Amino acid sequence: MSQGLARGATIGLLTVGLERGIAFLTLLVVARVLAPSEFGVYVFLLAGVVPMQVMADQGIEIVAVAAMARQPLAQGRVLAGVLVARALLWLVVALPVALVVLGNTGSGALRGAALAASGLVLVGPSLPYRSLARARGEMGYLLAITLADALAGAAAMMAALVAGGGAAALLGARVLASLLVTAVAATRFPVSPRLAPRAALACATDLARAAWPLSVNALLLTLVVRAGHLVLMALAGASAVAYLGAAGRVAEMVSLLADGVMLAVFPVMAAIPAQANDVSARVARWLALLVLWAVVSVSAGSHAIMLLLYGADYLPGAVALGVLTWGGLFAATGTLVLHGLVAAGHQRLLLATNLGAMATAVGLQLVLVPRFGLAGSAAATVIALATGQVLLALVPTSRASVFASWRAAAPVVALAASTQIAVLASGTPAWTRGPAAALLFAVGAWVTGLVRREDVAAFGRALRRPRTG
């Protein structure tokens, strides 16, 4: 991996880690302060809005990054199109869903909270300017915007809690914080989103036309992960859903490591699509090492992690965490393939494969949950994620990329599986298994040559700011 990519990927990891860490801690505080009924409203509204927000974040924004990276002179035009496209998605989809569907499940107070929640689709976590920073390769700005948004959002929500506010106040405070950070970010870039209304609408239409396969794909992936919650509620009750949800939040933190790396890697792919496979080859081994180190550490230490984060009441979720975390393997192997297809303009191919994955998830949930409970639900999710990659491997357009990704990851997967088996078979106390797995994996990677001295030196240089002059 080149020093530039290594530095960008390192900053991307730091960006995602800080953002998700702050959000996770904020959620824990909210859960402890609000009454269970009010926290339930908060979680319900987030669950209702997230699919629409994902359609914007993983559809419109990704297409915009690719367009701005390929055409630097058109960045202002594309930025204007992004702002209009998000506004239209909010007005046409999110606002009616919030007022007609989510808000009508309860009182007028719930309708107000639903309206506030819909604002997350409109502005997101200051995403338009985060996307601009990614496209320009300005990873320092990306980190600054993300950290400012996360901290401002957390501070606004804590202020709402102190003032005695409920779900509506929390969601409204979060949206206002993102609007403020977005406004400040707009003053920091030389790129202006000013464009005639008709031209901005035309650009937004072009973005939507290119983004809809990605948006639907992101929606399908969300349903793959959430299918277990729906089936468990029907077959096992609310407590089982709570255990799975708690475990899933931790497992998502592992998978997001791949997202952090792709913050820097995808704009490079998008700028020169013909070199996407070369970029993937340079990144694949390190991405697999990073994600699978976290996978084996969290999976082996799932019991202690659930006890530490959620308390003894949530220990039944440890078995789900131990299985769900292995979904990170498919984030490590699949994200390079997915982004390479997007860079090459083949995003529609993902629709069929993820539709198959969603069907697999629902079918397996119905079969495995009655027999194996939480473990069956978690296994169904991981198998469904694997199904998506198997289907991609059957298609000539993506077959070479899938095989290349797995060739790079296979030795790392073997090391991770061997590490977890050894730790679990050793009979060590539950609280030592996670650290033991982390250490054993690191030593194994060094001894087998998967991590080399020059790799460590390259990442050490990446952490230092390059000299200018």
With helix as H, strand as E and coil as C, how does 447-460 read?
HCCCCCHHHHHHHH
Q: Does one domain contain both 216 and 133?
A: no
| Residue 299 pLDDT class (50, 70, 90 cuts) | very high
Q: Does one domain contain both 183 and 258?
A: no
Q: Is the pLDDT of residue 206 over 90?
A: no
Residues 6+ apart with CB under 8 A from 398: 337, 341, 346, 349, 392
Q: What is the pLDDT of residue 460?
A: 56
Residue 24 lies inside a defined structural domain of this protein: no
| Arithmetic mean of pLDDT, 227-248 | 70
User: What are 338-397's pLDDT values in tens digits?
Assistant: 777 776 777 677 777 878 888 888 888 888 888 888 888 889 988 988 888 888 888 888
User: What are 167-185's pLDDT values in tens digits?
Assistant: 888 989 999 999 999 888 8
Q: Does one domain contain both 436 and 398?
A: yes
| Arithmetic mean of pLDDT, 223-231 | 69
| Measured CA distances, 351 to 75, 258, 391 (Å) | 28, 21, 11
Residue 38 lies inside a defined structural domain of this protein: yes
Q: Does one domain contain both 162 and 241?
A: no
| Measured CA distances, 215 to 19, 53, 350, 391, 394 (Å) | 22, 10, 11, 19, 23
With a threshold of 0.85, does the pTM exceed it?
no
User: What are 8-65's pLDDT values in tens digits?
Assistant: 666 666 777 788 788 888 877 887 777 756 766 676 677 778 778 888 887 888 888 8
CB atoms within 10 A of CB 287: 27
Q: Does one domain contain both 168 and 245?
A: no
Helix%, strand%, coil% for the chain, nearest 5: 90, 0, 10
- CA neighbor of 176 nearest in space, from 142, 184, 130, 109: 184
Q: Does one domain contain both 101 and 216?
A: no
| Measured CA distances, 275 to 36, 266, 334, 343, 444 (Å) | 51, 11, 18, 10, 32
Q: Does one domain contain both 220 and 170?
A: no
User: Domain residues for 337?
Assistant: 212-469
Residue 251 lies inside a defined structural domain of this protein: yes
User: Tokens at residue 120, please?
Assistant: 């997350």
Residue 246 identity: A
- Higher pLDDT among residues 270 and 96, named by residue: 96
Q: Does one domain contain both 399 and 361?
A: yes
Total tally of structural domains belonging to the chain: 2
Upper half-sphere CA count for residue 440 (Cβ side, 13 Å):
20
User: What are 247-261's pLDDT values in tens digits?
Assistant: 887 888 787 777 766
Q: Does one domain contain both 221 and 189?
A: no
- Higher pLDDT among residues 468 and 54, named by residue: 54
Residues 6+ apart with CB under 8 A from 309: 28, 246, 250
Q: Does one domain contain both 183 and 226?
A: no
- Across the chain, which distance is largest between two alpha carbons, in Å? 68
Stated length of the chain: 469
Q: Give percent of the chain with pLDDT exceeding 90.
A: 13
| Arithmetic mean of pLDDT, 135-152 | 85
Query: 249 near 257, Cβ under 8 Å?
Result: no
User: Tokens at residue 130, please?
Assistant: 């985060």
Q: What is the pLDDT of residue 269?
A: 67
User: Tokens at residue 436, please?
Assistant: 């033991």
Residue 208 identity: A
Q: What is the pLDDT of residue 62?
A: 82
Q: Does one domain contain both 175 and 254?
A: no
Residue whose pair of structure tokens reads 């070369």 in the numeric block:
278
Q: Does one domain contain both 163 and 291?
A: no
